[in-house]
Amino acid sequence: MATLTQPVAADEREAQLGGRGPDIAPPPHRGGESGGPGFTESDRLRRYRIGLAVGLAPVVMFFVAFTSAYIVRQGLGGDWRSTVLPPILWVNTVILLASSFTVEQARRRAVLVDVGRDGKDRGLPWLGVTLILGLGFLTGQWMAWGQLAAQGVYVSTNPSSSFLYLLTGSHALHLGGGILALLYAAAAFVFGRPAATRRIVVDVAAWYWHFMDALWIYILALLYFAG
């Protein structure tokens, strides 16, 4: 009686004989440093920027609500007395604008760390200057509140002074969060975190700082023109 056998594929025959089996190419790995499979550095950066935008949305709504309350309360008149802005606030504005320039230099130069030229961390000195300017701005704000107190203008003096303290104080509090972000970015340089991580951290911290700069210009314009 003839024995019927079915042909065995070459790859299956090799597997039965202890061969290497069929060649299956592994899926391409696009993951960046600690980014996980399927994510490039640009993907990670996009996600972090979106997260920053989502996180800033409540801040925007918070100050929009303050603005609405400010305008409505001013329109009621009564005990509203305009508060003269301390001159040092203009100096503080110049300091903050300068810090926005230095943090942008840090953001741009962080990208050059890998390509080397001399292998130095070019963004770190600019981060240090930004931190100094940020602390200088907060110190100036404290001095401005001291000038108001010396003139007998306190939070409860009148509605105008109340809004001035609340708006500038709220901004200072959020700027303090920006200083913490800059410290974290500087620590990423000091402790030798991966280059992609350094670039992303500096980028997000810089955009947050730019937002704080624009927010301060808005607050100062509101207090000056609507006050």
Instruction: Return the pLDDT at 19.
Output: 46
Of the pLDDT bands very low, low, confident and very high (cuts 50, 70, 90), residue 91 is very high
* DSSP annotation of 155: T
Q: Is the pLDDT of residue 227 over 70?
A: no
DSSP string, 63-117: HHHHHHHHHHHHHT-TT--PPPPPTHHHHHHHHHHHHHHHHHHHHHHHTHHHH-T
- Percentage with pLDDT > 90 across the chain: 61
Mean of all residue pLDDT scores within the chain: 83
pLDDT (tens digit per residue) in 20-57: 444 444 444 444 444 445 568 788 889 999 999 999 99
CA 144 distance to own-chain centroid: 26
What lies within 8 Å, CB to CB, of 23 at 6+ separation is none
For residue 93, the domain's CATH number is: 1.20.120.80
Residue 126 lies in a domain: yes
Of the pLDDT bands very low, low, confident and very high (cuts 50, 70, 90), residue 113 is low
Residue 214 lies in a domain: yes
Of the listed ranges 106-120, 139-153, 169-183, the least confidently predicted one is 106-120
Q: What integer is the mean pLDDT of 58-77?
A: 93
Of the pLDDT bands very low, low, confident and very high (cuts 50, 70, 90), residue 139 is very high
- Percentage with pLDDT > 70 across the chain: 78
What the block records as the tokens of 163 is 């809004």
Q: How many CB atoms lie within 10 A of CB 72?
A: 9
* Structural domain range at position 110: 41-225
Residue 144 is which amino acid? A
Residue 171 lies in a domain: yes
Could you give the CA distance from residue 161 to residue 171 in angstroms, rounded to a whole number?
15
Instruction: Return the pLDDT at 121.
Output: 62
Q: What integer is the mean pLDDT of 179-188?
A: 94
Q: For the range 30-35, what are the long-range contacts, defined as Cβ-Cβ under 8 Å and sequence gap of 24 or more?
A: 32/196, 33/194, 33/195, 33/196, 33/197, 34/194, 34/197, 35/196
Could you give the CA distance from residue 53 to residue 6 in angstroms, rounded to a whole number?
63
Q: Is the pLDDT of residue 14 over 60?
A: no
Q: What integer is the mean pLDDT of 66-84?
A: 90
Residue 9 lies in a domain: no
Q: What integer is the mean pLDDT of 102-130?
A: 76
Residue 53 lies in a domain: yes
Instruction: Return the pLDDT at 78.
Output: 81
Coil/strand/helix, residue 3: coil
Of the listed ranges 138-147, 151-160, 205-214, the least confidently predicted one is 151-160
Q: How many domains does the chain have?
A: 1
Residue 113 lies in a domain: yes
Of the listed ranges 90-104, 168-182, 194-208, 209-223, the least confidently predicted one is 194-208
Residue 13 lies in a domain: no
Q: Is the pLDDT of residue 173 over 50?
A: yes
Residue 23 lies in a domain: no
What lies within 8 Å, CB to CB, of 127 at 6+ separation is 103, 106, 182, 185, 186, 189, 202
Could you give the CA distance from residue 139 to residue 142 in angstroms, rounded to a whole number?
5
